[in-house]
Structure 1
Amino acid sequence: MELLDAILLGIIQGFTEFLPVSSSGHLELGKAILGGNAVPEESLLFTVVLHFATALSTIVVFRKDILEIIKGLLSFKWNEQTQFSLKIVISMIPAALIGFFFESELEAFFGGSIAFVGAMLICTAALLWFADRAKNTLKPVSYSNAFVIGVAQAVAMLPGISRSGSTIATSVLLGNDKGKAARFSFLMVIPLIFGKIAKDILDGALSSPDTPIIPLSAGFITAFICGIIACTWMIQLVKKSKLSYFAIYCLIVGLIAIAVSYF
């Protein structure tokens, strides 16, 4: 893997992980445009490193929130932080079950079908469009809300469905405060990312990496910095009801992907 490729992939991962445009969908479109060998098999370690970088960027942005949660848990009391942690666990259940029992079926959707990716991007656009017009309330995320948002996260395992877009949009449509919706959306993915990394390590999938250390480091640093920028920016955009811009973008890209698939 070339250094420039690593930096470009780091930029794409860092921004699309948090912006509601589907990082997996863009990766599939990129492979279709650049050719099937654009992302080599050796890049499994690289992909894991990029996800680790964006998880760390989330921790940096929400470091105060995470510290408060940890302090609340260590107090061994039924407080706001303990309840929030339980909601995070509940939100993880749907995606964890789908990933564990239907991993091979999910992989079948990542076969380069840009028409499917385009259709899912249009679905993402619709979600963002409706969420941007939802009335903002001060309603906190409830336990039932957490599970429904978790279902949205599970659906977002499909290429073209934005994880951040679907979870934030679902939360807002349920009547949750937009700021709280963005906060919950970004924090709920951290355990899943670290869980996936742990699974890959235990399965031995990363035991024989061929990716050179310099491109690996460059990709990590780029994804980490871009992730911090995108995460911070996204929170502000959600609060200001600017999701419709991304809805238009996803609609245009989705329609182009479907049109190109028929030529």
Structure 2
Amino acid sequence: MLEVIKAIVLGCVEGLTEFLPISSTGHLILVGHFLSFTGDKAKTFEIVIQLGSILAVVVLYFKRFLSLFNFKKRSGLNLLHIIIGMIPASVLGFLFHDVIKNVLFSPFTVGIGLFLGAFLMIYAEKKSKTESTQDLDHLSYKQAFIIGLYQCLSLWPGFSRAGSTISGGLLAGANHKTAAEYSFLLAVPMMVAASGLDLLKSYQYLSIHDLNYFATGFITAFIVAMLAIVFFLKILSKVKLIPFAIYRIIIGIIVIAYFI
């Protein structure tokens, strides 16, 4: 029963933080540490619940995903926009996968990532260009590549993939909603690829005896992620990134101080 409760808590944390600019990986590492839920099986569990969050985006943006494969249309967002955005982080992630996992996945490094990522978000809000791109169908290939470059920062747990890509989108000239929605769409292939690679390396930790709490975490993350995405899009254009940045600074300082 205790394992199921932990699965629900971590599923909520994953679903709530995956698409908000506050770092889901960072929060999972921190919460897992305080719940004493660590080790190889815990890492495998985190991969599974991340897939639940991914499914939420697929469901919410199903028609948009289908349109990416409509090669007859002459304008608008297409598959190439997603591929271009994936390239930088995919290459770096593949080359330095083991280094990232072994060096950067600790509560202390997460605290640093939360802290530094917050200042990127503040910088993006203060220095962002005039919003020339008001929707996804007007996003250029150049903007997609710039966002992809900023996504590389998210390879450091705590920096936040959503925080990095949304900040990159603002600095590239997109408005908040466009930057966020592109971030959501870009997350799906990136997370499937990363989670798939991790799952192949840790499949031996999957057991039929763990099916109960793995399924609980997956379903919880799926439901909470759907709610979080809808809520986030409603408030983002009003509150901007600054409140999320302040939250990250506070949490980052607490974590760094605690582990020092």
Q: Give me the TM-score of the superposition, normalised by structure 2.
A: 0.88
38-47 vs 157-166, which deviates more? 38-47
1:53-100 Cα shifts (integer Å, max 9, x gaps): 111101122123223223x23x3x54324xx32111011111111121
What is the deviation of 1:200? 4.3
**Is the 1:91–1:146 Cα contact (8 Å) retained in structure 2?**
yes
The sequence identity of aligned pairs, in percent, is: 34
C-alpha contact 1:15 1:226 (8 A) present in aligned 2: yes
Aligned to 2:203: 206
User: Residue 237 of structure 1 contacts residue 243 of structure 1 at CA under 8 Å; is this kept in 2?
Assistant: no
Query: Which of 143, 146, 159 pairs up with 1:145?
Result: 143
Q: CA deviation at 1:52?
A: 1.1
Encode CA deviations 1:106-146: one digit per residue, 9 max, x unaligned: 113345251x3222212221122233444652324322221
Aligned partner of 1:64 in structure 2 is 63
Which of 103, 113, 130 lines up with 1:120 in the alignment?
113
Counting only pairs closer than 5 Å after superposition, residues 111-190 of structure 1 correspond to structure 2 as 111-114=105-108, 116-133=109-126, 134=128, 137-139=131-133, 140-190=138-188
* Root-mean-square deviation (Å): 2.2
**Aligned residue among 183, 189, 193 for 2:191:** 193
- Is structure 2 residue 94 aligned with structure 1 residue 95? no
Q: Unmatched 5+ residue regions in structure 1?
A: none
User: After superposition, what is the alpha-carbon deviation per residue over 1:6-51, rounded to whole angstroms, capped at 9, x for unaligned?
Assistant: 11110010011011111122223234444xx522312344222211
Q: Which residue of 1 aligns with 2:76?
A: 80
Q: 1:122 is matched by which residue type in structure 2?
A: F
> Within 2, Cα distance between the matches of 1:172 and 1:241?
14
What secondary structure sits across from 1:205 in the alignment? helix
Alpha-carbon shift at residue 197 of structure 1 (Å): 3.9
Counterparts of 2:215 and 2:130, CA distance in 1: 41
Q: Distance in 1 between matches of 2:196 and 2:251?
A: 34
Moved more, 167-176 or 121-130: 121-130
The alpha-carbon deviation at position 207 of structure 1 amounts to 4.5
Match of 1:24 in 2: 25
Instruction: Name the TM-score, length of structure 1 as normaliser.
Output: 0.87
Question: Number of residues paired by the alignment?
Answer: 253
1:209 CA displacement: 1.1
Higher helix content, 1 or 2: 2
2:10–2:28 Cα contact (<8 Å) kept:
no
| Higher mean C-alpha displacement, 206-215 vs 21-30 | 206-215
Q: Against the structure 1 CA distance between its residues 89 and 100, is the aligned structure 2 distance closer, same or farther, given a 3 Å change threshold?
A: same
Q: Which one-letter code corresponds to 1:254 in the other structure?
A: G
Indicate if the aligned counterparts of 1:31 and 1:112 stay in contact, CA closer than 8 A: no
Which position in structure 2 is the counterpart of 1:234?
232
